[in-house]
Amino acid sequence: MIRPRPRPVTYAIVALATAAALGLAGCSGGTDTAPGAGAADSADKQDDAAAFRAQPDLAGTTALTIEAEFTPVEESDAARLLAPGVDLRITQVAQTDTLSAEVLQDLGGELDQADDEATVESVQAAEGQVFWVAEYSSDDPQWEPRGELPDSTASLALSGNEIADVFDTAEGTMHRGTVVASLPADADPQTGVLQVETDGEFQALSLLDGSRVASDVEHIYDSAGAEVQVDSAEEFEETFEGWTGDQQRLAGSVSGGFVTPWLSSRDGGDGWAGPGQVYLAVAVDWAEISATTDDETGIYVELADGTTVRQHDPPVYLSSPFEDDPVFLIPAETEQVTVVLEPQVTVGAGSTAETHTWDSPAAELTISAT
């Protein structure tokens, strides 16, 4: 999905009775005022005010209250949009034929009326359209790891055209508001959407019923929010002779982990995991050793079918291989894995270097949906 460039929109309001009023004025050839003419003029002004209509496809955000009969949107995974820092829902929707003039102007509309015309208090939707109103709420789903988040930009789009920006997570992750769009009463749910772009991928919720109608990363909803539990973890501890003849200790075990559909490069990921995949990060408590010894301990994950998965982005340093959590790309439907450590150190350098290896401790992890 290609993000279109926002287009500036200025809306004017048209008076349906203006042409008729001008025609009547042009036919008057005398200067006398007939009895009751003042009352008739007043009534005409009231009719003109009542006949104001918005231009088609009026849309925008408003902070003002809209008087309408709202219908709550039932909470479900199908009516939810997820991304790092975004848990967006449309909480309730409404359909109305009119908006107050104040709301219309808050949306960016203009009341194009003469000074001698009656004050416009309400505006009707364009011919054949109604105003769709949607209230939304977004919070941080708090995916692991906490910290760096990509920017997510939410915008209002009609028929594939981006109309207005709604919010940006660069300004915070808690957002509440109301969006309005003038559309046909029988419009399809995809016609008017609240669209979110995160790290180059787009998703959208319908303004009409709150359902998720588009997602470039639909696969994330199979694993988002899953938790990792350590069922068992073997402890490892061994000593060996260091380069200076002192006794050094190598020890540790798997202590935890998490899964996530998005991971930054700083944390060992490449942004969004691919279709059918999820990142598994494993926490290892591991003792650091002398700088004269290279800790070459490895780690891999074994799936239930025996498949071995190596680290997605192995570290380049040797003094502390588990300073950052090792990361693996595993199938999103994975429910259990075995994490295997491969303890190995090399003491010294060159032809006199000595390598030590030991049996591999393992840990059993369960991945379950919340």
pLDDT, position 118: 66
**Mean pLDDT across the stretch 224-234?**
95
The rounded percent of the chain whose pLDDT value lies above 90 is: 66
pLDDT, position 369: 82
Instruction: Tell me which of 68-77, 136-145, 216-225, 316-325 is least confident.
Output: 316-325
DSSP 261: S
171: pLDDT strictly greater than 80 = yes
pLDDT, position 77: 94
Conformational region of residue 200, where left means phi above 0, alpha means psi within -120 to 50, and beta covers everything else: left
Task: State the Cα angle at 191 between 190 and 194, rounded to 5°.
Answer: 70
pLDDT, position 46: 45
Instruction: Tell me which of 47-51, 114-118, 159-163, 250-254 is least confident.
Output: 47-51
212: pLDDT strictly greater than 80 = yes
pLDDT, position 115: 58
- Quickly tell me which residue has 């539990």 as its tokens: 229
pLDDT grade for 289, boundaries at 50, 70 and 90: confident
Bridge partners, 238 (sequence order): 250
pLDDT, position 314: 77
pLDDT grade for 30, boundaries at 50, 70 and 90: very low
What's the CA gap between 368 and 370, in Å, rounded?
A: 6
The rounded percent of the chain whose pLDDT value lies above 70 is: 82
Which of 179, 271, 278, 262 lies closest to 222, judged by CA? 278
Instruction: Tell me which of 118-122, 137-141, 298-302 is least confident.
Output: 118-122
What sign for the dihedral angle of Cα 39, 44, 50, 52?
Answer: negative
How does the average pLDDT of the chain come out, rounded?
A: 86
What's the CA gap between 345 and 250, in Å, rounded?
A: 9
Residues near 299 by beta carbon (within 8 Å), at least 6 away in sequence = 282, 284, 311, 321, 322, 326, 339, 340, 341, 342
Residues near 181 by beta carbon (within 8 Å), at least 6 away in sequence = 57, 58, 59, 131, 132, 156, 158, 163, 192, 207
333: pLDDT strictly greater than 60 = yes
pLDDT, position 57: 84
Conformational region of residue 296, where left means phi above 0, alpha means psi within -120 to 50, and beta covers everything else: alpha
Most confident of 91-95, 289-293, 346-350: 91-95
Domain with CATH 2.60.40 in the chain: 227-368
* Phi and psi torsions of 27, nearest 5°: -85, -10
pLDDT, position 108: 83
pLDDT grade for 191, boundaries at 50, 70 and 90: very high
6: pLDDT strictly greater than 80 = no
What's the CA gap between 1 and 195, in Å, rounded?
A: 11
Q: Tell me: the pLDDT tens digits for 338-364? A: 999 999 999 888 778 899 999 999 999
Half-sphere exposure of 359 (CA within 13 A, CB side): 6
Strands (DSSP E) contained in 140-235 are 152-158, 161-168, 175-184, 192-198, 201-206, 212-215, 227-233
109: pLDDT strictly greater than 50 = yes
The H or E element containing residue 255 is strand 247-260
Record the tokens describing residue 227, joined without a space: 């938790």
Q: Tell me: the pLDDT tens digits for 213-228? A: 999 999 999 888 899 9
Which comes out higher in pLDDT, residue 125 or 242? 125
pLDDT grade for 85, boundaries at 50, 70 and 90: very high
DSSP 10: -
113: pLDDT strictly greater than 70 = no
**Mean pLDDT across the stretch 159-179?**
96
Instruction: Tell me which of 148-152, 163-167, 246-250, 265-269 is least confident.
Output: 246-250
Q: Which long-range contacts (CB under 8 A, 24 or more apart) does 21-30 make?
A: 21/48
Q: If 0-12 CB within 10 Å is exposed, 13-18 middle and 19+ buried, where does residue 13 land? A: buried
Residues near 67 by beta carbon (within 8 Å), at least 6 away in sequence = 96, 100
pLDDT, position 116: 56
| Topology given in CATH for the domain delimited by 227-368 | Immunoglobulin-like (2.60.40)
Which of 90, 69, 15 lies closest to 45, judged by CA? 15
Strand, coil or helix: 175: strand
Instruction: Tell me which of 132-141, 222-231, 245-254, 318-327 is least confident.
Output: 318-327
